[in-house]
Each structure stands twice: as C-alpha cells, then as structure tokens.
Amino acid sequence: MLRPWLWRWHRRAGLATAAILLLVTVTGIFLNHTSELSLSQKYVDQNWLLLFYGIPEPQLKTFTLGDSTITGDDRGQLYWGADTLASCRGELVGAAQHDTGFVAACEQELLFLDERGRLLEKISATYGLPTPLKQLGKCGEQLCVRTPKRLFELDFNALSFKPLVGVRPVWSEPGLLPDMSRQAIYEHSRGQGLSWERVMLDFHSGRIFGAAGVWVVDVAAVLLLFLALSGFVLWYQHMRVKRVRNKAAPTHDK
C-alpha cells in the first residue's frame, strides 16, 4: 500500500514544485555569477518593473540655459541636458546666465558652472549663503536670490550677499524639457535605486511577491525534501523487490 501512495504523491510534489524549482535554479545561476555579470552595478530601466516595485516617476523642474537645460529631480540630482551633473541640497529653484558661465540655485546651495555645464564650485551656508533659497533671478545687472524674508544681491568678486530693498527682480522661470532628455532622466533617476542583483535576490527568495511569495518558496523547499526522501524510498523498495524476484527465479543447469 505504501508504494502506490508514494508514487502518487511523488508525482504530485514534482508537478507542484516544477515552476518554483525552475525559477530558483535560473536566479541561483545568475546570483552565483553576480560579480562577473556586475549585477550590483546594473540598474533596472524597464518601466513596468519599476512600477511593480512602487518606484514612481520623479518630479522634475527644468530651467533653460543657453542652448541647453538644467534639471533637478526630487532626489536632489541635477542634470545638464540629459547628463548627470551633480547632487544638490534641496529643490532646484532657479538658474541664470552670468558672464561666460551659469549659476544654479538649490534651496541650500549655489552652483557655479562653466559655459559647457561643468561644475566649478558650490557655495552653501558655510560661506554665508542666506538659506533657504526660494528664487534666483536678475536685479538690474546683478544676480540676486530670494529667501522667505528678503532679497540678496550676489557679489561674485567677494562671494558675498548684500541685502536689497526697493528692487524689482526678474526671476528665472521653469521651462520645458525635451522628451528625449526627460525619458533619459526618468530612466536614470528611477533606476539608480533598483539593481538587477536586488531583483534576482527577490525572485530567488520569493520576496518579489510579498510575504506570500516567501511562504510559497518555503513550501516548495519542503516538497523538494519530500521528493528526495520519497525518491530514495521508492528506489529502495524497487531494488528490494528486484532482489527477491532474482532469488525466486528458477535456475537451469546447462
């Protein structure tokens, strides 16, 4: 009676674990070669997978500077066109041209760029910058910034900030970002937080499907243990029956 029962449940367990075993095997092979495949340095850019992980599209603010644009996302990363530029403390609040270069203002920092958008210097409250900055623009011939309380003129020679009154500034205004640059920034900003190593680990453990996925993988592991034990028992019973039959078979002398 035991043998038919074992055969029946051995087959059922094998069918039940086939898909999970395939998933664990494939992801295990990838994880075994993480360093060779650089999975920890390769980031996901598939929109459906990012949405599955709950990583939303970043909020972007763009200012036009000459023939290019400077864009800030909601994680404090700045982009020159579609290329990463530098990190910035706080939201990007303005950008303007000055002499042969550009100035970008975040809530806690000013960034000075050359004509090609390369970072030259950062200035923060440590250097006397009044914060938090709310806007950057022009007050006559000079650049000026606005804080919640007042206006300040930028003295580039002394890198100082002089309070201003009775001046009507022209503030820099957000502009439009070209679609190609927007798509590239979306992929970079969203993907940097999700590596393929993380995805493979989540698939391997079942965590990508939440707590239920972990339990499914655990049950599959128990069924695999049952397959190993039942397979051994079935093999042992088969060998024992075979030996008994061989002994019972009549022998004929030549």
Q: Where are the domains of the chain?
A: 2-42+195-242, 61-191
- pTM > 0.75: no
Q: Which residue has the higher pLDDT, 181 or 46?
A: 181
| Gap between the Cα atoms of 161 and 181, Å rounded | 34
64-90: per-residue pLDDT in tens?
987 889 999 988 899 999 898 899 999
**In the structure, what pLDDT confidence band is assigned to residue 60 with cuts at 50, 70 and 90?**
very high
pLDDT at 231: 67
Using the predicted structure, report yes or no on whether residue 105 has a pLDDT greater than 90. yes
pLDDT for 147: 93
Q: What is the mean pLDDT of residues 150-174?
A: 85
88 within 8 A of 77, measured Cβ to Cβ: yes
Cα(168)–Cα(144) distance, integer angstroms: 10
Domain 61-191: top CATH class: mainly beta
Tell the burial category of 254 from Cβ atoms under 10 Å away from its Cβ (0-12, 13-18, 19+). Answer: exposed
Which one is predicted more confidently, 60 or 30? 60
